[in-house]
Amino acid sequence: MNDKVFQIWQKKREQGFVNWLFKSTTGAVAFYLVFSIAFQYSSIGEMGMLAFLQSQLLNYVLFTALMLCANGLLWLYRESSYKKEARRRNII
């Protein structure tokens, strides 16, 4: 882990797990919603926006759950790498 990545993660871990998980997942879900609507715009016109969102609700819920799991695992991986590097640098 280089110095820049180490410093960035040190700042992010100060936010706390839940706060970081919420922000990361919210960002990913918002990105997914926007591009889902943008790329499937032609079917929205036929169905109407509300009907389209209702038909895609299961996809949005599933994506959110998967992103929560993926971001949780990403946190654990980064935290493990950070602690290993901190021990190597004799910080911990």
pLDDT digits (tens, 9 = 90+) for 16-57: 999 999 999 999 999 999 998 888 877 777 778 888 888 889
What is the number of domains present in the chain?
Answer: 1
The pTM of this model reads: 0.82
For residues 70 and 31, give the distance between their C-alpha atoms in angstroms, rounded to a whole number: 16
Residue 15 lies in a domain: no
Q: Does the residue 4 lie in any domain?
A: no
CA separation for the pair 50, 27 (Å, rounded): 22
Instruction: Tell me the percentage of the chain whose pLDDT exceeds 90.
Output: 68
* 76 within a domain of the structure (yes/no): yes
Q: What pLDDT shows up at residue 37? A: 86
Q: What is the residue range of 45's domain?
A: 23-89
Say if 29 falls within a structural domain: yes
> Residues of 45-58 as b/e, b for ≥16 C-beta within 10 angstroms?
eeeeeeebeeebee
- Please check whether residue 14 lies inside any domain of the structure: no
